[in-house]
A and B are shown apart, each in its own frame.
Chain A
């Protein structure tokens, strides 16, 4: 009989917990496992479900359609092996929901290190070229330096100060004429590979048709005495 101190008791519970989990996975309990399986696969699957809802689905009947991708459910016996992830065929379904059109997508990356931004710019431009996205300007806005002057000592010695500065370098990449699906794919790819310590701002300019209710003034059908506003 092993003598466990209080610390070891907690570890034993974890061991039990793990065994239980493994047992659960291998059991043929369909409902529970399938839900877990699906949620786990959602986390594991590299590319998540695509379902771009453009900013407002106004009557924007475009010929372009949206791609949505669904996972096939696999039996739970294969889950704990690597065979699951490599052999699942992904099906891409194309829906008739109108796709958003972005006239311009501007990606501004900010970092403290210029070399990191150089590499990232190479990566982003190459990815855009490979995916067939037309690129506009790729330039480097001037850097910002924020300087602080603080007292060097904890107490007194006002004449002796220390100065710090924070440099923020920028890089701007402009993409022209991108569809909603392509923009989502590209931006997700770019953002997943964003290095540590780099921030990004994405400004999207979507174009839309004039909504139907602004084409004609409503006072034409209804006379001006009708004050009921829309």
Chain B
């Protein structure tokens, strides 16, 4: 096999990063840029900072092998986000052979552990990650980050949510009461 091609990318604050082509291919945005012929020069990423980029690359490196096997079977990451599936279970859609079942389970377990450690980040980093994943079009990372943000909301009262995300309550007491009452009794 020929040595892997290295892509040079420049973040919005001028720093450059050199990353293997297979790793950056996890980002649909970068993949499209390379396929459009920009792969030989420096690829500019005006919406991504040098602070968050390494974190994104860490994700991409971990998910390269997933992506490689997907590339072989279909054209790219076609998995539709299922609204009813409230976790980003990536590998579980395909039905595995029984012999590989145990291996698959171990792999999924390990990935879950890695994800828990990876997502142990503060709010600022989480938001940067959300924006970067959105701009770079990395579906799995976007879902994971959105899920983490959602987990910071679940089970909290409105006041606690405001506290967490530093949001001002702009309801008047009457407006608040109206919405609260409607929420409580009128619908589901």
Are A and B interaction partners?
Answer: no
A interface residues (Cβ-Cβ under 8 A, vs B): none
